[in-house]
């Protein structure tokens, strides 16, 4: 009798080829991205500190050459998570579309909420926002940015953010992107639980409420910054 040994790599590839494999990749990378968005929100909210230099000191700490390895490791992990999330989402979308029978009109099973239907375009717009955002505040290629000149790269984050949001078009784009991010996070977080098989009439409504609360928290926290600048409450 001969036994067929399936190599673990082949098993992983076969798992990924099925929709559940792509959903697992989206869920795992989604957890990393949600974690980053929360950590980043906590960093951003330091702009409200009574110590005006607090957010700049935080940025100087992140950019300190002594932390370069950790910073680049985190950036690489984040970039890999973004790429895998987008690739799995696109493949899943194409797979679902190919499997959809002709004349198929309305989907009644999984959450057909507004947020669910907008995933397909809220995702690409949030991705475009991230590219614009990095060009704006990290690379300084959209608007002029300042440096406080402590070590080779210590951005004057407080000035860069406030000067950027004094431009209503920039502030408006950020607010628009945050609203889309909110819908994307709401649907994404609760779909993650569905992918993990957590689907119970008792818990699902709570999971939906918790997902909405987290998504709204991120949107309100981030939107408050351009709004505070536009209304003159936050000045340099
Ligand atoms: C009003 C909202 C936001 C503000 C004020 C803000 C602020 C900033 C600032 C100042 C930087 C540059 C930091 C530095 O060079 O030290 C930055 C980088 C970045 N932000 Fe945001 N951010 C906001 C929202 C977001 C959101 C919603 C996302 C993701 C969906 C995001 C993703 C990133 C990424 C990926 C970087 C690059 C990090 C790096 O250079 O390593 N940001 N943000």
User: Is residue 105 a part of any domain in this protein?
Assistant: no
Residue 122 Cα, ligand 1 centroid: separation in angstroms?
18
155 Cβ below 6 A of ligand 1: yes
112 Cβ below 6 A of ligand 1: no
Per-residue confidence of the chain (236 residues) as pLDDT tens digits? 566 777 888 888 898 988 889 999 999 999 999 999 999 999 999 999 999 999 999 999 999 999 999 999 999 999 999 999 999 999 988 988 888 766 555 544 455 566 677 888 899 999 999 999 999 999 999 998 998 887 667 899 999 999 999 999 999 999 999 999 999 999 999 888 888 788 888 888 999 999 999 999 999 999 999 999 999 999 98
Residue 67 Cα, ligand 1 centroid: separation in angstroms?
18
User: Is residue 33 a part of any domain in this protein?
Assistant: yes
User: Is residue 107 a part of any domain in this protein?
Assistant: no
Q: Whose CA is nearest to atom 5 of ligand 1?
A: 44
User: Is residue 173 a part of any domain in this protein?
Assistant: yes
> What is the best residue among 40, 75, 125 to mutate for testing ligand 1's pocket, by most ligand atoms within 8 Å of CB?
40
- Residue 70 sits in a domain whose CATH number is 1.20.1300
211 Cβ below 6 A of ligand 1: no
Q: Is the pTM of this model over 0.85?
A: yes
Strand partners, 147: 155
Count of the separate structural domains present in the chain: 1
100 Cβ below 6 A of ligand 1: no
Domain hosting 175: range is 8-99+112-230
User: Is residue 174 a part of any domain in this protein?
Assistant: yes
């Amino acid at each position: 009798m001969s036994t067929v040994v399936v190599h673990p790599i082949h098993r992983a590839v076969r798992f990924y080829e099925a929709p559940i494999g792509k959903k697992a990749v989206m869920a795992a990378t989604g957890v990393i991205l949600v974690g980053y968005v929360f950590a980043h929100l906590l960093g951003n909210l330091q702009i409200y500190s009574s110590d005006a230099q607090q957010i700049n000191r935080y940025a100087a700490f992140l950019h300190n050459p002594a932390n370069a390895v950790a910073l680049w490791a985190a950036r690489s992990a984040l970039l890999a998570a973004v790429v895998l999330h987008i690739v799995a989402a696109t493949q899943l979308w194409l797979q679902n579309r190919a499997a959809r029978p002709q004349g198929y009109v309305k989907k009644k099973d999984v959450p057909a909420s507004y947020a669910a239907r907008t995933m397909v375009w809220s995702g690409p717009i949030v991705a475009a926002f991230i590219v614009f955002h990095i060009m704006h505040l990290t690379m300084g290629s959209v608007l002029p940015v300042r440096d406080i000149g402590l070590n080779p790269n210590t951005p004057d984050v407080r000035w860069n953010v406030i000067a950027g949001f004094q431009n209503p078009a920039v502030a408006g784009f950020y607010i628009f992107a945050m609203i889309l991010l909110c819908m994307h996070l709401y649907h994404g977080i609760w779909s993650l639980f569905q992918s993990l098989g957590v689907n119970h009439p008792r818990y699902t409504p709570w999971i939906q409420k918790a997902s909405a609360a987290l998504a709204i928290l991120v949107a309100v926290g981030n939107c408050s910054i351009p709004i505070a600048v536009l209304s003159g409450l936050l000045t340099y």
